[in-house]
Structure 1
Amino acid sequence: MRTPITRRTLLVSGATAGAAALLGVPAASADGREHREAVVTPLAEVLDGGEQVTSLAISSPALHRADRSSLAVSTFAVHVTATNPLSGEIAYEQDRVVTAASWTRRGAVALELEHGWGVDGGGTLQYMGAHGRNVVLDLDYAITQVEPLRGRGGGGAVVLDSFRQGRLSDPEVDAFAHHATASGLNYRLFSPVGGGGRDGAALVVWLHGGGEGGLLTGGYDYYDNEAQLRANRGALGFATPEAQDVFGGAYVLAPQATSAWMQDGDGFAPLVLEAIEEVVAAHRIDRSRIHVVGCSNGGYMSLKLVAEYPETFASSVPICCGIGARDGSGGYFVSDDELAAMTTPTWLVASADDTTLDPEDNTVYAHERIDGSIMSLYDDVTWDGNTFPGHWSWIYVARNDPHHDGASIWEWMATTKR
């Protein structure tokens, strides 16, 4: 039986020599021990360009004795080594820039790290181009206390001798519970607060891109139920307070393909439907408000599901989708007849500069054949001052940017029923 690989617990890390010895100061201790261990928790966020470790929390009973005014940006130094768990190769190794240092309400040290689009050394995933997969990295954070903290009331210097790394924390990702269907398809599920109204809550099904599936070929046995949430904000956007307010509460289902949806659309369609049915059976969900949204491979799969199960979905949002070669010679295909027969309300999204799946051959082509469909075709993918690859138009949907006839895409979905 396959054992799923997860990276929810990271490697243990620590200084090779005691910080007190390195700083040349005695480590005073209220309990008489010189050894001062701290737990380091990497805190991550899924940004528009993918998940990054954006800060660290350092906690230790010893810190309760520290004079808070003595903490500075230069007190601690941070070094990270990221290793690909499949190849064993180091993806990156470098110092992280500490941009701010502060105290939490619980008396831990919070170190803000430089992060954002174009900043190296923060990513939690590596794209293995030869296999077309994103793999969650093993991250080893080494912390060095460069300067001692003053003790309160003139007490001895507070120095942490060793650091033990804790579990990676990303509150948005962690809010999605881990599940697998009876057939073994992984999925993550976000559950709303409250029941979502008299008839139950809406259900948004997020279908990931090709890079977020499992890798069960080439001698690998990797199926982690993580990458579909960590690679981009596609699923997470619908779990934000803003989206939940628009929908009046919505479950968000994010299944994970064992490979890529495009590799076996006929085989994956009933497996995704099984996941939907299991979630609907277990929760109070309004069957008239089940929405399917997908990007790239998932954009194809959203169309495939609508073609296979035309009475299931209230709306379909294919983003930068693929529909296959028109002669059906490729590994995936949505026929002209299937497109013309679609009656599920459809809103297609893409960027004109997409070089991965040509928008004219895919998004525009589908739009012209799906009666009554809406299309948002952007010039490029620019958000918050950053310009991303043209294929990444899912950013716009995750940020509720597309609008039509005065309604945002979330509002349109939320008010559309089957």
Structure 2
Amino acid sequence: MATPPISRRTVLAAGAGAAAAGLTVPGAAHAGHSTGSVGFTLNAQVLDGGEQVTSVTLDTSRLGPVDPASLTTGTFTVHAKATSPLPLAPGDLIFSEYDLDRTVTAARVDRRGDIVLDLSTAEGQVGGGTLGYIVSKGRNVQLKLVYTITQNAPISVRRRPVTISTFRQGRLSNPEVDAFSYHTSRSGMKYRLYSPSARGRRPLVVWLHGGGEGASLPDNYYDNETTLRANRGALGFATREAQRIFDGAYVVAPQSFSAWMQDGPRFAPLIREIILDLVRRKDIDPRRIYVAGCSNGGYMSMEMTVFYPELFAASVPICGVVQALQGGERLITDDELRAITTPTWLVTSLDDTTVPPEPNTVHAHNLIPGSLVTLYEHVVWNGYQFPGHWSWIYVARNDPSIDGQHIWQWMARQRG
């Protein structure tokens, strides 16, 4: 489960690929030349707490050079509405739909001559996110986003005042997410793949998502999106820093049909199928395959090393589940933990109330031979405290270290 108790959940919100939205500006409101329709792009970034729309780019370069001095934060108003892509049952809850004005913090002209409206963005901020969490399903979903742009004053183009008649919403753009290509395995499991620019035999990092990012059944919501947008788990390994440390690595993020914990033994060979197929098709070093995952994915990371002890050079289970929640049965037995031979570094936070450390991470560390463990007191990054379950934030930032060696460097040094 990549989701903490609802009362503590940081608000993520609303989705991609929304329907076009526009608003005609009354000609009488502004003096000067009126031009036709202009498209706009929603620009997003994945923060540590999830993806947010951080700016809007208006496709104004075709109008001619815009005078930056004619732009203020009040020239345009940006309204955002986010709604569920799935019908909700009576009484069901979703965190969080929203319908509000976004605060424009800056208006500028970029290198292409397009107007960019920077929007107020912060961890935990209500409005602006791209995911919603449906309580009854325990799933994050991409919600339908409709942005409406209103022009409040003319802009200056070639010293003429210009008013744009209508605005057309375009795509959601996130370069980090868009760098991962879309795929489906022969068994039907969807996955996203980052391919390094460097040539030659390269390592492979397998990222296994939390429970909130699996498919939602029985409504067949299976988006191949939330695995990258809910947190920086997979994206961290595709950053410039990580690619330098791993000497250029492929990063694959499979998406479960439901949740890894629901049937780990069934999912294990399906994940392995994706890995072996990539090894066949790409120039991947089979001695440098690494697996990491959070919560449900932390469980699955350990499960993969139980089933395939020779496949991985290293494993990083983050707040991984060993014992089913509410005191249930052990999903990984003590004998299985003792038998793990893959070098393992476990990570969690002591204030994790979703997957308590003692019966899970600490217990696994005590039994997995030679394993390393990092126990944080809280999950705090850039001065913002996240729910204790979100310790994957630290791994995505290469923060865990032991005796001066950080976790990415440790992973990259391991060989199968």
- Normalised-by-shorter TM-score class: over 0.9
Identify if the C-alpha distance between structure 1 residues 22 and 44 changes in structure 2 by more than 3 Å, giving closer, same or farther.
farther
CA distance in 1, matches of 2:211, 2:374: 22
1:285 equivalent to 2:293? Answer no
Shift of 1:87: 2.1
- Please give the alpha-carbon distance, in whole angstroms, between the structure 2 residues aligned to 1:377 and 1:91: 34
Query: In 2, distance between residues paired with 1:333 and 1:249?
Result: 34
CA distance in structure 1 between the partners assigned to 2:390 and 2:133 by the alignment: 15
Tell me, what secondary structure is at the counterpart of 1:304?
helix
2:79 maps to a residue whose letter is H
| One-letter code aligned to 1:95 | D
The answer on whether the counterparts of 1:260 and 1:297 sit within 8 Å (CA) in structure 2 is yes
1:3 matched residue in structure 2: none
2:7 is aligned to none
SS at match of 2:237: helix
Residue in structure 2 matched with residue 310 of structure 1 by the alignment: 309
Deviation at 1:395, TM superposition (A): 0.2
Partner of 2:366: 368
2:403 to 398, 402, 405: 405
2:132 aligned with 1:131: no
> Secondary structure, in 3 states, of the residue corresponding to 2:290?
strand
Q: What's 2:10 paired with?
A: none
Matched residues in 2 for 1:410 and 1:309: separation? 22
Q: Give the number of equivalent residue pairs.
A: 396
Aligned residue number for residue 171 of structure 1: 175
**Structure 2 counterparts to residues 236-315 of structure 1, below 5 A:** 236-315=235-314
For residues 350 and 63 of structure 1, what CA distance do their matches in structure 2 show?
53
CA-to-partner distance for each residue in 1:142-200, whole Å, 9 max, x for gaps? 000011112324x3x1111100011100000000000000010000000001125xxx1
Query: Which residue number corresponds to residue 39 of structure 1?
Result: 39
Q: What's the offset of the Cα at 1:260?
A: 0.3
Query: CA separation in 1, counterparts of 2:52 and 2:409?
Result: 29
Distance 1:23 1:309 in 2: 68
1: CA distance, partners of 2:190 / 2:205: 16
Q: Distance in 2 between matches of 1:362 and 1:328?
A: 11
Paired position in structure 2 for 1:48: 48
Q: Secondary structure at the match of 2:155?
A: coil
Gaps of 5+ in 2: 1-14, 89-93
Give the superposition deviation at 1:83.
1.0
Aligned to 1:161, the other structure's residue is in SS state: strand
**Letter of the structure 1 residue corresponding to residue 410 of structure 2:** W
TM-fit CA distance, 1:62? 5.5
Partner of 1:112: 118
Provide the secondary structure at the position in 1 that maps to 2:361. helix
Q: Give the Cα–Cα distance (whole angstroms) in 1 for the partners of residues 196 and 317 of structure 2.
A: 24
Distance 1:307 1:74 in 2: 58
Whether the 8 Å contact between 1:262 and 1:300 is mirrored in structure 2 is yes
Aligned to 1:359: 357
1:180 and 1:187 in contact (8 A); partners too? yes
Q: 1:306, 1:313 → 2: CA distance?
A: 7
Corresponding position of 2:319? 320
TM-score of the superposed pair, with normalisation by structure 2 = 0.92
Partner-residue secondary structure (3-state), 2:233: coil
Check the 8 A contact 2:35/2:162 in 1, yes or no: no
- Cα contact 1:65–1:158 (8 A) shared by 2: no
User: Percent identity among equivalent residues?
Assistant: 54
Cα displacement (A) at 1:63: 3.8
**What does residue 191 of structure 2 align with?**
187
> Is contact 1:55-1:110 (8 Å) kept?
yes
| 1:10 to 2:18 alignment | yes
Question: Among residues 103, 128, 139, which one is paired with 2:109 in the alignment?
Answer: 103
- Larger relative contact order (C-alpha < 8 A, sep ≥ 6)? 2
1:4 counterpart residue number: none
Distance (Å, rounded) in 2 between the aligned partners of 1:112 and 1:316: 39
Do the aligned partners of 1:63 and 1:108 also contact (CA within 8 Å) in 2? no
Q: Secondary structure at the match of 2:204?
A: strand
Question: How many angstroms does 1:72 deviate by?
Answer: 1.2
Superposed counterparts of 1:6-85, under 5 Å: 9-15=17-23, 17=24, 19-21=25-27, 23-27=29-33, 34-61=34-61, 63-85=63-85
Is residue 2:207 matched to residue 1:203?
Answer: no
RMSD of aligned Cα (Å): 1.7
Structure-2 separation of matches of 1:326 and 1:79: 41
